[in-house]
Structure 1
């Protein structure tokens, strides 16, 4: 099978300037570039150019109209990484229907929990239809029954189309509904307008990535998350770039396949959370001499606060493959701003800054996420709403053309009257560059001191010889005040668990001067958001519900 070409021979590169997704796909369909889908081992299984995607999308749109979907109706789509999902997503644009991408669970072992999640999201979306791939159709049907909706397979959109005239584009109809990843609460539906989407796409393509006519992208990020959907479908399509997709679960199973695919396809643009670069370094170091990553000019990093040690681990391990450290491009964004707020400049080594530790000591080194994109404003405010000077950590507020106007649920809040939105994140500015330190709701207050859960998790992981993702830290209030709980995944028996707890307890006492309740929990039991971030609020809720057995540490010691 022959995959999509790297560039278009005759169609001129156009970086944005489109009014809507339909117009962008109509233009991309005049070229030869497209999307390629690979299996868990990186073998090409399906290739489709943008002309073929447009044909399929228009067929799907006709079916949607024939099913009774009207302009402005919402359509829930389980977003697996497939031609079928992209066909339905872009088909909704031609039908004037508002797609609502929902999480896809490749191997739903916990079917009841997944079904309940789908039912809750489906009810929140208000969509009367739910389309699903065959792998999750049983869960989708059960969720639809609970939510009072109708579910059917995505493949029903592939039949010969009925003779139906498609409606013109209505600028007031949202492009889609993006559910936030739910790092601290139940996901909320972000109403993404066509104008906001196109503004963010233009800023990312022109100023953030500085895309070129020979760029080729690669992604394993899920298409139900904003970084995967916007960054590696919408932006790529609007810039007429070819993309190689791996299934999201393929990265966790075989990070080497990601590296091998990038090497084989001479990928120039890729994005991943910080933990993924460290994991890829661990798994890919032994094969570095067999790889060629010299074409990778944008190695984007997003998600949790960006730590320089994760990126250094990758650049050192993959230097023999031609990888350059200055290819790293840290960035900051959120679904409420469509995707990107700030992006570091390509071809410039990331800037590191230290923030003081509240307990004294050396503090934490963070990497800058670049200056805000053109038209986007960022303010750093204290708890009273006053502007803070540079290099002072505070609450981040953003305003710009890509920032949402409202959530789907009106009670969920939204921007202030002046257009500024509270991101819920903490950070600071240094020479105009944005540095992210964490989520405000994740901050732990112990005896009047603010402690970052990321710092506690890093110290605990180092003490227990664990991976950073094997630890979760959060605060819990008791009568004596707030104390710290640390959950550490552990394979060993009771004696090993006791030793692990003792090492972590000693490390936290030395680094922070605190006692914590350390629980050894089963492997793969810690919850994560749909974007791969630690779901600390969910972990805290499970702890309070008695999901994990309490430690024997005396409560008086915890608050001493």
Structure 2
């Protein structure tokens, strides 16, 4: 008999327990950790195939966090010191994050390497964020020691693996007192048009957003979170880690790279959950799963998605066509379209600003593209429409208004900048008063997004800073990118659209497109197809450059970075493929 046969199977933490639920109504996050530790609930970590490999009750996490807190204090870490943590989904990061909070230090979650760039690119990214956050120490997994230590050395920051840090002495001392107005952590926004800036989040702001999150989602006793989202991004960190603790519910967790390799393991985990599932993803996660299902797969036999109550969607523009494809692929497995729960948020508001009431599903409005761009309609061409997704209603105590160019409040169905105000709006950008003043005005946060309201719901149109303005007419890059994606062989994220200055000084639309065609003659045909497609959307010729797959840069959360793509292209760092003469 093998050792494996003698080992009893792991029992995941329960959905229900005798401890009364408190929906994030604590003075500090420290109090939330202490309360969650009284329950039998916790985190359950799974391997690449979705098999349970580590059960981590909140009681054990709190005990580990205290030990790590003593080590931090012994190492000289003081309140308000920054501690950079590579946010790998696992017990080490969970305990270290909570340890920093207990010490009054500010944890700074930073990304793991991704498949979107090489070693040097990752070291550069870490270096920039370390320079901004100015931490006392960077703590990282042993597997990336070489890259992480190089980034730390560049910034003259101490670096250590958490395996080595766990060997430090941990003399028991009294932990500092923490107040609701103290900074809890720094969150780096992955906005594609802004230089990385640390969002300073107070305990009070965090807990208020987590309370609104629980209330808006109507989180109940039998709910359980299933997630693959990375813990360095606000949607994963706040929605699928901190919220679990503050609202006392269990979770099954898959590492992001495991999802990238085996996305259907996410749905397998959901199928095994005996309770109701709350699980979130950007649009591309649903897209990948729908694409991975072959026509020969019997989804009703493999999956049971009937208890998926909250299928959250956010972090990028929500595409109704992708959501419909997911419904088509998995309705036989019991998935209900009404489970879709669109939302809108950003790190500067902790996480959520608006959430669709559960059960309402995805609702869209068809809006003329000329209305979206604010330009007169060309009556010689047929009207074109875009489906704009309803992103729900504001969280409790969150106000949303649409601002005009001169700061005037716009009425329903009038497009303008989205502003929000409430207790969970950020304290500031860390050590960046100019950026703080640019987006915070009398308590109102200028989100940088464009949208409109209707009957208390918010509709997001796009990013103001990404707008392409050609001959006085505005074009959303998403419209151009989506148009090209309709051509055969392209996936979401294969196209980056922006404007370029031509030789005669005029602006022209440009697209960089991932090309998987090797024949130079076929590449010419493909470029012509793309040019025709963009012309049908913009009414003008555009610059089309075919680039190798996996060339277009991404933010830390995997979203396309148009601004960086343009910068790299102009600098000659993105080299187009050769075409036939």
Paired residues for 1:505-516 under 5 Å: 505-516=531-542
Paired residues for 1:38-49 under 5 Å: 38-49=46-57
Distance 2:310 2:195 in 1: 33
Paired residues for 1:131-210 under 5 Å: 131-159=139-167, 161-206=170-215, 208-210=216-218
CA positional deviation for 1:71: 1.4
CA positional deviation for 1:3: 3.8
Distance 2:197 2:517 in 1: 38
Q: Runs of at least 4 residues of structure 1 off by over 6 A?
A: none
Match of 2:242 in 1: 234
Number of equivalent positions: 552
* 1:406 equivalenced with 2:428 (yes/no): yes
Which residue, 471, 475, 482 being the options, matches 2:507? 482
Distance 2:388 2:285 in 1: 17
List gaps (5 residues or longer) in structure 1.
554-560
Distance 2:467 2:298 in 1: 39
Distance 1:517 1:464 in 2: 20
CA gap of 1:452–1:3, structure 2 versus 1, over 3 A, is farther
* 1:288 equivalenced with 2:310 (yes/no): no
SS of 2:193's equivalent in the other structure is coil
Match of 2:280 in 1: 271
Alpha-carbon contact 1:426-1:436 (below 8 Å) kept: yes
The superposition leaves residues 108-133 of structure 1 with CA deviations (integer Å, 9 ceiling, x where unpaired) of 97211111111111110011211011
CA gap of 1:550–1:293, structure 2 versus 1, over 3 A, is closer
Once structures 1 and 2 are overlaid, which stretch shifts more, 74-83 or 490-499? Answer: 490-499
Paired residues for 1:64-143 under 5 Å: 64-105=72-113, 110-143=118-151
Distance 1:391 1:423 in 2: 18
Distance 1:523 1:107 in 2: 12
SS of 2:369's equivalent in the other structure is coil
Match of 1:557 in 2: none
With structure 2 as the length reference, what TM-score do the two structures score? Answer: 0.92
CA positional deviation for 1:524: 1.1
CA gap of 1:284–1:3, structure 2 versus 1, over 3 A, is farther
Distance 1:239 1:195 in 2: 15
Alpha-carbon contact 2:314-2:344 (below 8 Å) kept: yes
Match of 2:6 in 1: none
CA positional deviation for 1:428: 0.7
Distance 1:271 1:125 in 2: 28
Once structures 1 and 2 are overlaid, which stretch shifts more, 84-93 or 165-174? Answer: 165-174
Once structures 1 and 2 are overlaid, which stretch shifts more, 349-358 or 124-133? Answer: 349-358
Alpha-carbon contact 1:370-1:433 (below 8 Å) kept: yes
Match of 2:442 in 1: 418
Once structures 1 and 2 are overlaid, which stretch shifts more, 369-378 or 335-344? Answer: 369-378
The superposition leaves residues 207-240 of structure 1 with CA deviations (integer Å, 9 ceiling, x where unpaired) of x211011111011111000000000011111111
Alpha-carbon contact 2:13-2:55 (below 8 Å) kept: no
Distance 1:278 1:302 in 2: 13
Alpha-carbon contact 2:77-2:136 (below 8 Å) kept: no
SS of 1:268's equivalent in the other structure is strand
CA positional deviation for 1:246: 0.8
CA gap of 1:484–1:550, structure 2 versus 1, over 3 A, is farther
SS of 1:526's equivalent in the other structure is coil
List gaps (5 residues or longer) in structure 2.
1-8, 371-376
Alpha-carbon contact 1:464-1:500 (below 8 Å) kept: no
CA positional deviation for 1:496: 2.3
Match of 1:556 in 2: none
Match of 1:447 in 2: 471
Match of 1:59 in 2: 67
Match of 2:3 in 1: none
Distance 1:551 1:449 in 2: 31
Distance 1:418 1:313 in 2: 43
CA gap of 1:417–1:308, structure 2 versus 1, over 3 A, is closer
Distance 2:578 2:145 in 1: 44
CA positional deviation for 1:85: 0.5
Match of 2:516 in 1: 491
Distance 1:518 1:60 in 2: 53
Once structures 1 and 2 are overlaid, which stretch shifts more, 325-334 or 431-440? Answer: 431-440
Alpha-carbon contact 1:456-1:508 (below 8 Å) kept: yes
Match of 1:325 in 2: 337
CA positional deviation for 1:138: 1.4
Distance 1:273 1:531 in 2: 10
Which residue, 261, 280, 284 being the options, matches 2:269? 261
With structure 1 as the length reference, what TM-score do the two structures score? Answer: 0.95
SS of 2:76's equivalent in the other structure is coil
Once structures 1 and 2 are overlaid, which stretch shifts more, 322-331 or 486-495? Answer: 486-495
Match of 2:411 in 1: 389
Alpha-carbon contact 1:220-1:248 (below 8 Å) kept: yes
Alpha-carbon contact 1:446-1:483 (below 8 Å) kept: yes
SS of 1:300's equivalent in the other structure is strand
SS of 1:456's equivalent in the other structure is helix
SS of 2:452's equivalent in the other structure is strand
Distance 1:519 1:551 in 2: 8
* 1:468 equivalenced with 2:492 (yes/no): yes
Alpha-carbon contact 2:13-2:43 (below 8 Å) kept: no
CA gap of 1:106–1:306, structure 2 versus 1, over 3 A, is closer
* 1:218 equivalenced with 2:242 (yes/no): no
CA gap of 1:7–1:464, structure 2 versus 1, over 3 A, is closer
CA gap of 1:86–1:481, structure 2 versus 1, over 3 A, is same
Distance 1:429 1:107 in 2: 38
Distance 1:325 1:283 in 2: 19
CA positional deviation for 1:26: 0.7
Alpha-carbon contact 2:282-2:316 (below 8 Å) kept: yes
CA positional deviation for 1:417: 4.3
